[in-house]
Amino acid sequence: MDGRAVRGEGRGPGWGAEADLVVVGSGVAGLTAALDAAAAGLRVVVITKDAVDDGSTRWAQGGVAVVLGDVPGDSVDAHVADTLAAGGGLCDAAAVASIIADGPGAVARLRARGARFDGPAGRPDRTREGGHSAFRVVHAGGDATGAEIERALVAAATDRRLALLTGHVAVDVLLAGGAVTGLAVLDDLCRPGVLHAPAVLLATGGYGQLYSSTTNPGTATGDGIALALRAGASAADLEFVQFHPTVLYTGPAVGRRPLVTEAVRGEGAVLLDRAGRRFMAGVHPLADLAPRDVVAAAITRTLVASGADCVYLDARALDGFARRFPTVHAACRAAGIDPVREPIPVTPAAHYSCGGVVTDLAGRTAVPGLWAAGEVARTGLHGANRLASNSLLEGLVMGERAARSVVASVQEGHLHATSLHEGGLAATPWPVATRAVVQRAMSAAAGIGRDAAGLAAASDAVEAATGLAEPRDRAGVEDAALTLLAQAVLAAAGTRTESRGCHVRTDHPERDDLWQGESLEVVLDATGRPAVRAAAAVAA
């Protein structure tokens, strides 16, 4: 099947198409999986809400953390140890070892697909980021790694004539007898339709748009988690929303903010308070290169103590800033800042969802026929705080694995035969709150530094702004997903009465051993509301 076959002529309400696998999302995990599944002979359709490259992948700057075996003193074991240390006692050690071990092969296959990293082909340049004990992060275009990966994957998808439906939003996973039979969607003219398929892979990214200020694009509205929860899968670790320590501060603003990659600190830049004092030195042995949660929390404390709006990243001692960090340099210059001559004003902003849809190490959820890979999924790699540049790595590795798993299931005849029912939109209206209210409530109460009273007030504010509505367009679908995610994150954050990783509770400021190794799982109860339960060993 190619794109033209799916688009067809004369679509009306209830249009349909058939595939073996529908992939929702066209970032690193989605396109990797789609290309591999298509290469294995499956009929694959990829849907994406916006343009093909408008997801989170293209905005990733720093790089891909991977041990290629040529950096003295570095090893896969060291990468595993750094990941576990950053994850605050909540990683699944087996997942960490397995995913990191597959990194070098996945990066080699990405390069074979056309992605070009900086430095000589046989020995790419390496940088360092927070929490890494070695220079092991490969990068492209200086600080445009995600853009290069997306370019290469989109080019490969175009060469293969992969069926890519842009401007399509997923509304509901369709089930029969508890197994996937397809996906209800709205097309770019808001017409409902069905993609009939026995396998659906969610690769929709995270939910940074829950917050007013985020590094994520407008597409990051938690759709995949909402789809999975409604289909009967579970999610876990949702309270661990990672805030990137350094986004460019240009005054109060809502929406996607320009990232200032951690690699700037990896190459020697340091954080200063408004009096010009370094404040990371006594906070962690790695100082400015501490794991991300530690740096973001220290910046937040500095801002609260001083009443300042931002801190500063001093990169003036770095050689060749514009060449090494062209994306950051351009963003600074556009804001009237010259990072070669003056410190860059920065603040933390919502960046990454460490939790997500619970999957096994093949990307399978608990729902037959439903897979998830990339940021939308919770494999156990990240625990309470993701190590920098492990996200593109996970997207590559888990995209490949999900494809292998789907292909095996199709070939072995394990998947449900599709039933060609018509229509597609859920008849039941969903709870939908006003997006601006959700973002304000989450930013005020569920950022870095939460307490019981604030979380309860945010829940009340979301509740008060919620009504029932049928999803008739992309915004309606996204707002319903954001509403569900807000309820789930607030419930999980209220339940975890300790501070760990990127979950910082001001009323429970210490890590509590009672919570050691304890994940919180979220499912929907009979009324469709998120219910939180403790689950020491979360498994799909």
Q: By CB under 6 A, tell whether 389 contacts ligand SIN.
A: yes
Nearer to ligand SIN, 291 or 380 (CB): 291
Of all residues in the shown chain, the one whose CB is closest to ligand SIN is: 62
Kindly list the catalytic residues.
Answer: 292
Structural contact between residues 34 and 46, judged by C-beta atoms closer than 8 angstroms? yes
Structural contact between residues 539 and 529, judged by C-beta atoms closer than 8 angstroms? no
| Residues 485, 227: Cα–Cα separation, whole Å | 11
Nearer to ligand SIN, 62 or 501 (CB): 62
- Minimum distance between the CB of residue 28 and ligand SIN, rounded to whole angstroms? 12
CA dihedral 357, 360, 366, 370 (to 10 degrees): 70
Nearest to 519 by CA among 89, 6, 20: 89
- Minimum distance between the CB of residue 67 and ligand SIN, rounded to whole angstroms? 16
| Residues 210, 441: Cα–Cα separation, whole Å | 9
Binding marks (x or -) toward ligand SIN, 121..160, rule CB under 6 A? --------x-------------------------------
- Minimum distance between the CB of residue 121 and ligand SIN, rounded to whole angstroms? 23
- Out of 82, 102, 239, 262, the only residue in the binding site for ligand SIN (CB under 6 A) is 262
- Minimum distance between the CB of residue 260 and ligand SIN, rounded to whole angstroms? 8
Q: Is 372 helix (H, G, I), strand (E, B) or coil?
A: strand
Structural contact between residues 130 and 388, judged by C-beta atoms closer than 8 angstroms? yes
Nearer to ligand SIN, 233 or 349 (CB): 349
Stretch that binds ligand SIN, among 54-62, 216-224, 250-258, 429-437 (CB under 6 A): 54-62
**Tokens matching residue 212:** 């007013």
Q: By CB under 6 A, tell whether 83 contacts ligand SIN.
A: no
**Tokens matching residue 239:** 């309270």
Q: By CB under 6 A, tell whether 62 contacts ligand SIN.
A: yes
Stretch that binds ligand SIN, among 40-48, 324-332, 386-394, 432-440 (CB under 6 A): 386-394
Strand partners, 172: 184
Which residue type occupies 243?
F
- Out of 261, 385, 459, 499, the only residue in the binding site for ligand SIN (CB under 6 A) is 261
Q: Of residues 190-209, which lie at the interface with ligand SIN (CB under 6 A)?
A: none
Q: Backbone phi, then psi, for 238, in 5-degree steps?
A: -70, -20
Q: By CB under 6 A, tell whether 459 contacts ligand SIN.
A: no
Nearer to ligand SIN, 181 or 261 (CB): 261
Q: By CB under 6 A, tell whether 92 contacts ligand SIN.
A: no
Structural contact between residues 164 and 323, judged by C-beta atoms closer than 8 angstroms? no
- Out of 171, 248, 269, 388, the only residue in the binding site for ligand SIN (CB under 6 A) is 388
**Tokens matching residue 403:** 């494809």
Nearer to ligand SIN, 300 or 409 (CB): 300
Q: By CB under 6 A, tell whether 383 contacts ligand SIN.
A: no
- Tell me whether residue 417 is exposed, middle or buried, using C-beta atoms within 10 angstroms of its C-beta: 0 to 12, 13 to 18, 19 or more: exposed
For 501: left if phi > 0, alpha if psi spans -120 to 50, otherwise beta; the answer is left
Q: By CB under 6 A, tell whether 347 contacts ligand SIN.
A: no
- Tell me whether residue 282 is exposed, middle or buried, using C-beta atoms within 10 angstroms of its C-beta: 0 to 12, 13 to 18, 19 or more: exposed
Q: How many residues bind ligand SIN (CB under 6 A)?
A: 11
**Tokens matching residue 277:** 């004092």
Residues that bind ligand SIN (CB under 6 A): 60-62, 129, 261-263, 352, 388-389, 391
